[in-house]
């Protein structure tokens, strides 16, 4: 690979890994399995190793995932909380021992082998035996103070039994049992809310709730297995620590093994794999640790993980079953996605009857056919997926899957026209799309999206409820949800005539309260909520902050200026005297075109200094055309008319006079008091922009402690570097 290609790939991988870090740690909504995540990360680490010139201190390979969210007080850990390196094969597992033995100068070592609990890491501080604080891992050095929420865990003693040290940090994992997970999801299903994919996500989502009375409604559990800072140092081995934790009355793992050498450790891993399904918590691997703390000290740690411990991840559970059929779901944008209908099979503790098949191209690539015996996988975190078919077991008479033929060339929901379209999102390629904006599936999808958390947060109107409201004709366009009377909501039957399941008065009242609260949300959220084609969250924010109302937006001078500029730029390119496609044929023409270009340049500059000042480049002509077209279309006009009729006139937070208008910031390192999101909000609120990479167009690099390559780049390019104090002065905050 050439250095240029490597640099590109490294940048792409860093962005991708960071995105998955955010999904896993902050939002508790991972999109890929741990294994796929590790593969991405390994590829990145490999490339960084091979091309050290592109190494960066802020690369995701150099830090632990950050779980901090807004609203919690941040607290420093007395001793850093590290993560663990993962292994997936016996060879990798044994290589850990070889490295360690070399480091210690002996291979006579004792290990403990413990279950790796699939929960959420937490550090408890006990002072003189009293529980004083519970903090998440955060960035490793500091995390969020979640004491109030941890205090809702009934099985956690507030006081250690017997003699306790002056101060000790005890580390463990918060989790939810399968049973509690199912109970909560069933409740959410009844209320029409989105379901959590697995216990870990639900536990992580719960611990990050700001209202601890809500947390108390869910039975969180905890198990403890480690220590951080201790004064005085009490024990000198993991085995002794396990015994002490138990003697103090703390919940500990059911089983651990103290073994000698790697062969015994590997045998213990096998035994653990056979027993782990009986444990109260979900486990996704084994953790092997040096038993002796003195040896641990000698082995030391990297920034991210100790050299004295490693995780071995168990293979995700797979099962074989028959693919009975492929049904097609239609999403809010009309994209048709295939779903596998399976002969029900028990997998990782639950019965699986459906799994995702991603898209038609993937089905073709893997040559998966209806009637095939298929292998399905559930990797704990993610929805079950069909991995492959087993061609040796293929019955006669199967045919290649053809999505369009399967739906008879029309939308399976509304019967409308379908067409092949390019899907913008990376890796999605081409897909079939229902062309009918009024398709009930699209309507329901848009309504569910309109009510989702990041849109208008009208909790309670999730997939099932949205589909029902559309099916019964109560809602066509999302704003119609404001017209549904409380009584209608309360008596909404989400089940069938034979088995009615009523939405209920309590849920209905919540929806009514939430939709009223949403009236006060700013234009940007409303714009995002309306599913305007090509207008995602970032674009909605940009537009919502540059317009005062929907009326202004529908006839946006700014968007027209974007189109005008693109038009002028196109003309400029064509008329350029040096144009290869359109070379001038005479000196006179060259002179005339030179003059014309000067005029075009002046017009472009005028737009850039006027209506387009501070408008980011990613707000381009495609988005502008799409938004203007939408608001001029029949459905777009109908939506706006409905909003007007309902008295819904959300206000844009126009910050034209903001002190940072037209300024772009890049943030790097840890600031002394402001969290990254807080700094970003200050910048956005004052009309500024935040970017991920430093270029000549960057106005300021806001640098904190441990700033990495971005700081160097800023210096190299002569971009102004400011610290938090200076930033606060500029922002007036
Ligand atoms: S010891 C210094 N033991 O797994 C490293 N961690 O993937 C200390 N985890 O951050 C970790 N079960 O949150 C340890 N028996 C166990 C564990 C365990 C689960 C978590 C922990 C850690 C993560 C790393």
Report the alpha-carbon angle 213-218-223, nearest 5: 110
**DSSP state, 176?**
-
- The tens digit of pLDDT for each residue in 586-645 reads 999 999 999 999 999 999 998 887 788 778 877 899 999 999 999 999 999 999 999 999
Distance 253 CA to ligand 1 centre (A): 12
HSE-up of 28 (CA within 13 Å, CB side)? Answer: 21
Q: Which atom of ligand 1 is nearest to the CA of 82?
A: 2
Distance 488 CA to ligand 1 centre (A): 49
φ/ψ of 666, rounded to 5, equals -125, 130
- How far apart (Å, rounded) are the C-alpha atoms in residues 139 and 93? 27
Question: How far lies 198's CA from each of 20, 346, 382, 569, 592, in Å?
Answer: 17, 16, 8, 51, 68
What is the per-residue DSSP string for 249-290? T--B-S--EEEEHHHHHHHHHHHHHHHGGGSSS-EEEEEEEE
Which pairing describes strands 110-117 and 418-422: parallel, antiparallel, or unpaired?
Answer: unpaired
pLDDT at 656 over 70: no
pLDDT at 18 over 60: yes
The residue nearest atom 7 of ligand 1, judged by CA position, is 84
Residues classed as catalytic: 116
Q: Give the H/E segment covering residue 89.
A: none
The residue nearest atom 15 of ligand 1, judged by CA position, is 116
Burial of 220 (0-12, 13-18, 19+ CB in 10 A): buried
Distance 656 CA to ligand 1 centre (A): 48
HSE-up of 401 (CA within 13 Å, CB side)? Answer: 27
- How far apart (Å, rounded) are the C-alpha atoms in residues 494 and 483? 19
More confident call, 488 vs 421: 488
Where do we find the tokens 């081409």? 430
Q: Residue 718's pLDDT is what?
A: 87
Which residues are CB-neighbours of 241 under 8 A, at least 6 positions away? 226, 227, 235
Which residues are CB-neighbours of 685 under 8 A, at least 6 positions away? 653, 655, 658
**3-class secondary structure for 460-519?**
CCCHHHHHHHHHCCCCCCHHHHHHCCHHHHHCCECCCCCCCCECCHHHHHHHHHHHHHHC
Average pLDDT of the residues in 226-252: 96
The residue nearest atom 23 of ligand 1, judged by CA position, is 83
Give the CA radius of gyration of the chain: 29
Which residues are CB-neighbours of 270 under 8 A, at least 6 positions away? none
Nearest C-alpha neighbor of 181 from the set 252, 276, 281: 281
Least confident of 192-206, 275-289, 546-560, 692-706: 192-206
- The tens digit of pLDDT for each residue in 659-695 reads 787 789 999 999 999 888 788 878 887 778 888 889 8
Q: Which atom of ligand 1 is nearest to the CA of 115?
A: 15
Q: Which atom of ligand 1 is nearest to the CA of 118?
A: 19
Q: Residue 615's pLDDT is what?
A: 83
- The tens digit of pLDDT for each residue in 148-164 reads 899 999 899 999 999 99
More confident call, 252 vs 23: 252
Burial of 434 (0-12, 13-18, 19+ CB in 10 A): buried
User: What top-level class would CATH report for the domain 437-518?
Assistant: mainly alpha
**DSSP state, 25?**
I
- Pocket lining for ligand 1, CB < 6 angstroms: 82-84, 114, 116-117, 121, 173, 225-226, 287, 306, 309, 311
Q: Residue 122's pLDDT is what?
A: 97
Distance 114 CA to ligand 1 centre (A): 10
Q: Residue 349's pLDDT is what?
A: 64
Question: How far lies 240's CA from each of 237, 292, 531, in Å?
Answer: 5, 10, 58
The residue nearest atom 22 of ligand 1, judged by CA position, is 83
HSE-up of 501 (CA within 13 Å, CB side)? Answer: 14
SS3 102: helix
Q: Which atom of ligand 1 is nearest to the CA of 121?
A: 13
The residue nearest atom 2 of ligand 1, judged by CA position, is 82
Least confident of 236-240, 354-358, 729-733: 729-733
Q: Give the H/E segment covering residue 205.
A: helix 199-207
- How far apart (Å, rounded) are the C-alpha atoms in residues 539 and 581? 34
Distance 161 CA to ligand 1 centre (A): 25
| Token code pair at residue 574 | 């064509």
| Token code pair at residue 340 | 């596998």
**pLDDT, averaged across the chain:** 90
- How far apart (Å, rounded) are the C-alpha atoms in residues 57 and 705? 12
Where does 530-556 have alpha helices with state H?
537-544, 550-554
Neighbouring C-beta atoms of residue 263, cutoff 10 Å: 11
User: What top-level class would CATH report for the domain 3-62?
Assistant: mainly alpha
Q: Residue 290's pLDDT is what?
A: 98
425 - beta bridge partners?
none
Distance 83 CA to ligand 1 centre (A): 7
Question: How far lies 36's CA from each of 32, 276, 359, 382, 428, in Å?
Answer: 6, 23, 19, 11, 17
Asked: is 664-731 a CATH 3.30.70.20 domain? The reply is no
Q: Report the CATH fold assignment for 319-431.
A: OB fold (Dihydrolipoamide Acetyltransferase, E2P) (2.40.50)
Q: Which atom of ligand 1 is nearest to the CA of 120?
A: 13
Nearest C-alpha neighbor of 263 from the set 516, 470, 94: 94
pLDDT at 380 over 60: no
The residue nearest atom 16 of ligand 1, judged by CA position, is 116
pLDDT band at 242 (very low <50, low <70, confident <90, very high): very high
Which of 24, 139, 173, 276 is the best mutation target for the ligand 1 pocket, counting ligand atoms within 8 Å of the beta carbon and taking the most?
A: 173
Peptide bond into 232 cis (omega under 30): yes
The residue nearest atom 17 of ligand 1, judged by CA position, is 116
Average pLDDT of the residues in 485-512: 92
Domain range 82-313, CATH architecture: 2-Layer Sandwich (3.30)
**3-class secondary structure for 133-168?**
EEEECCCCCEEEECHHHHCCCCCCCCECCCCCCCEE
- How far apart (Å, rounded) are the C-alpha atoms in residues 711 and 95? 37
Average pLDDT of the residues in 400-406: 92
pLDDT at 68 over 80: no
Neighbouring C-beta atoms of residue 314, cutoff 10 Å: 17
Q: Which atom of ligand 1 is nearest to the CA of 311?
A: 7
Q: Residue 426's pLDDT is what?
A: 42
pLDDT at 195 over 80: no
Q: Residue 601's pLDDT is what?
A: 95
Distance 34 CA to ligand 1 centre (A): 14
Which of 41, 64, 77, 84 is the best mutation target for the ligand 1 pocket, counting ligand atoms within 8 Å of the beta carbon and taking the most?
A: 84
In Å, the largest CA–CA distance within the chain is: 99
Report the alpha-carbon angle 718-723-726, nearest 5: 100
- How far apart (Å, rounded) are the C-alpha atoms in residues 122 and 632? 52
Distance 186 CA to ligand 1 centre (A): 30
Question: What percent of the chain shows pLDDT beyond 90?
Answer: 59
Burial of 141 (0-12, 13-18, 19+ CB in 10 A): middle
Beta carbons of 116 and 86 less than 8 angstroms apart: no
Q: Which atom of ligand 1 is nearest to the CA of 226?
A: 1
- The tens digit of pLDDT for each residue in 562-579 reads 999 999 999 999 999 999
Question: What percent of the chain shows pLDDT beyond 70?
Answer: 97
- The tens digit of pLDDT for each residue in 411-435 reads 999 999 999 988 765 455 788 999 9
SS3 348: coil
Least confident of 46-55, 425-434, 523-532, 551-560: 425-434
Where do we find the tokens 């200026």? 561
pLDDT at 328 over 60: yes
Which of 113, 116, 122 is the best mutation target for the ligand 1 pocket, counting ligand atoms within 8 Å of the beta carbon and taking the most?
A: 116
Distance 355 CA to ligand 1 centre (A): 30
């Amino acid at each position: 690979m050439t250095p240029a290609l490597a640099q590109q790939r490294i940048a792409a991988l860093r962005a991708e890994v960071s995105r998955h870090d955010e999904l896993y740690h902050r939002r508790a909504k991972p999109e890929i399995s741990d294994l796929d995540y590790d593969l991405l990360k390994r590829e990145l680490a490999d490339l960084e190793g091979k091309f050290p010139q592109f190494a960066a201190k802020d690369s995701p390979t150099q830090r632990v995932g950050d779980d901090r969210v807004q609203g919690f007080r941040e607290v420093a850990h007395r001793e850093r909380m590290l993560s663990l390196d993962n292994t997936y094969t016996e060879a990798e597992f044994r290589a850990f021992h070889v490295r360690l033995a070399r480091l210690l100068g002996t291979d006579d070592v004792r290990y403990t082998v413990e279950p790796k609990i699939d929960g959420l890491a937490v550090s408890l501080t006990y002072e003189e035996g009293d529980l004083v604080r519970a903090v998440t891992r955060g960035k490793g050095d500091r995390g969020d103070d979640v004491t109030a929420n941890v205090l809702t865990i009934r099985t956690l003693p507030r006081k250690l039994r017997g003699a306790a040290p002056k101060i000790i940090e005890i580390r463990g994992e918060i989790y939810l049992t399968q049973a509690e997970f199912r109970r909560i999801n069933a409740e959410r299903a009844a209320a029409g809310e989105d379901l959590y994919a697995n216990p870990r996500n639900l536990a992580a989502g719960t611990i990050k709730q700001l209202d601890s009375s809500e947390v108390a409604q869910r039975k969180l559990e905890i198990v403890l297995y480690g220590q951080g800072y201790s004064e005085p140092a009490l024990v000198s081995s993991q085995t002794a620590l396990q015994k002490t934790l138990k003697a103090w009355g703390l919940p500990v793992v059911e089983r651990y093994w103290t073994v000698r050498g790697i062969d015994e450790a590997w045998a213990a891993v096998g035994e653990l794999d056979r027993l782990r399904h009986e444990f109260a918590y979900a486990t996704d691997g084994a953790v092997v640790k040096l038993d002796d703390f003195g040896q641990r000290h000698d082995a030391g740690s990297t920034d991210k993980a100790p050299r004295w411990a490693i995780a071995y991840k168990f293979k995700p559970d797979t099962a074989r079953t028959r693919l009975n059929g492929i049904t097609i779901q239609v999403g809010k944008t009309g994209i048709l996605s295939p779903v596998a209908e399976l002969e029900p099979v028990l997998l990782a503790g639950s019965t699986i009857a459906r799994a995702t098949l991603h898209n038609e191209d993937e089905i073709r690539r893997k040559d998966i056919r209806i009637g095939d015996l298929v292998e399905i996988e559930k990797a704990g975190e993610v929805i079950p997926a069909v991995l492959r078919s087993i061609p040796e077991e293929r019955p006669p008479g199967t045919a290649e899957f053809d999505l369009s033929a399967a739906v008879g060339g029309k939308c399976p929901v509304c019967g409308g026209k379908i067409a092949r379209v390019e899907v913008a999102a990376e890796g999605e390629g081409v897909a079939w799309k229902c062309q009918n904006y009024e398709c009930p599936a699209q309507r329901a999808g848009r309504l569910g999206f309109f009510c989702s958390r990041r849109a208008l947060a009208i909790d309670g109107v999730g997939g099932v409820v949205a589909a029902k409201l559309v099916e019964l004709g109560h809602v066509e366009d999302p704003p119609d949800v404001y017209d549904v009377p409380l009584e209608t909501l309360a008596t909404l039957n989400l089940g069938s005539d034979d088995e009615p399941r009523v939405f209920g008065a309590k849920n209905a009242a919540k929806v009514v309260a939430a939709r009223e609260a949403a009236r006060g949300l700013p234009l940007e959220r409303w714009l995002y909520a309306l599913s305007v084609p090509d207008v995602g969250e970032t674009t909605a924010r940009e537009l919502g902050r540059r317009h005062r109302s929907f009326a202004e937006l529908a006839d946006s001078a700014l968007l027209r200026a974007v189109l005008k500029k693109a038009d002028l730029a196109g003309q400029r390119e064509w008329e350029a005297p040096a144009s290869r496609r359109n070379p001038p044929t005479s000196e006179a023409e060259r002179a005339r075109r030179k003059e014309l270009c000067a005029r075009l340049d002046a017009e472009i500059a005028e737009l850039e200094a006027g209506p387009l000042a501070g408008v980011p480049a990613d707000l381009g002509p495609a988005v502008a055309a799409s938004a203007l077209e939408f608001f001029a279309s029949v459905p777009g006009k109908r939506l706006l008319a409905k909003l007007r009729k309902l008295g819904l006139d959300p206000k844009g937070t126009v910050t034209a006079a903001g002190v940072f208008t037209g300024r772009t910031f890049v943030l790097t390192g840890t600031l002394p008091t402001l969290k990254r999101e807080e700094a970003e909000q200050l910048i956005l609120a004052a009309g500024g922009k935040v970017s991920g990479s430093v270029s000549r167009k960057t106005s300021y690099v806001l640098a904190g402690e441990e700033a990495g390559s971005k700081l160097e780049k800023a210096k190299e390019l002569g971009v102004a570097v400011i610290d938090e104090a200076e930033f606060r002065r500029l922002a007036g905050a």
